[in-house]
Structure 1
């Protein structure tokens, strides 16, 4: 049996080996990107948890941070200095009443600092816009620890 005859009769072995090899390459690339993304997400969550401890708060659960913020900061980094976010922040800093009884109050400075820390870690390019939008808010240390 000549080598060319063997190769032509068994080319399905070569095709099968190439298909299996390509499948392994694709699986390897997907797994690599997943591990890389998971490590980056965990690093950012640990950095945020460390910042919370440095600020005097108990260490939050990093798994919760990972689920909530992912690698890109999630909803916190979606236009943080925009009019809608600013309005929602101002509405949430109120006396807790609804409709006509709702009144603005002086918000706690630490709440703004906490959100700024999230933006600093997850989307630092948006931090200046966030500060520009919320600089006109009156804040003070209103919440006791």
Structure 2
């Protein structure tokens, strides 16, 4: 959790309480690392912020930065796959 919070701070994002980070990601990143680049990950990103199934929403760069911080912390070997997956997403500031 401490390493995740360091990565979040480096990305300019708020820290997570250690208890929450541990529940969400355990010690190995959990689902966040299992699904990098898989259909589930693509589907989650494709529909993020859209209430229309199958319609891609505009992705806030903060969401991508948060995911990148999690992946960098728990499964850095999968960061390149994440970057390949997200480089073509349309982004704009949508989260305050």
* TM-score, normalised with respect to structure 2: 0.83
When residues 49 and 85 of structure 1 are mapped into structure 2, their CA distance, relative to the original with a 3 A threshold, is same
Higher Cα Rg, which structure:
1
1:136 equivalent to 2:88? Answer: yes
On the 8 A contact 2:48/2:57 being kept in 1, the answer is no
Aligned equivalents of 2:67 and 2:82: distance in 1? Answer: 9
1:70-89 → structure 2 map (5 Å cutoff):
70-89=26-45
RMSD of equivalent CA atoms: 2.0
Query: How far has the Cα of 1:134 moved from its partner?
Result: 1.9
The higher-RCO structure (CA 8 Å, 6+ apart) is 2
1:43-62 → structure 2 map (5 Å cutoff):
45-62=1-18
Extract unaligned runs of 5+ from structure 1.
1-44
Q: Which of 85, 88, 105 is equivalent to 2:57?
A: 105
* TM-score, normalised with respect to structure 1: 0.58
On the 8 A contact 1:81/1:134 being kept in 2, the answer is no
Structure 1 SS opposite 2:5: helix
Higher share of residues assigned helix: 1
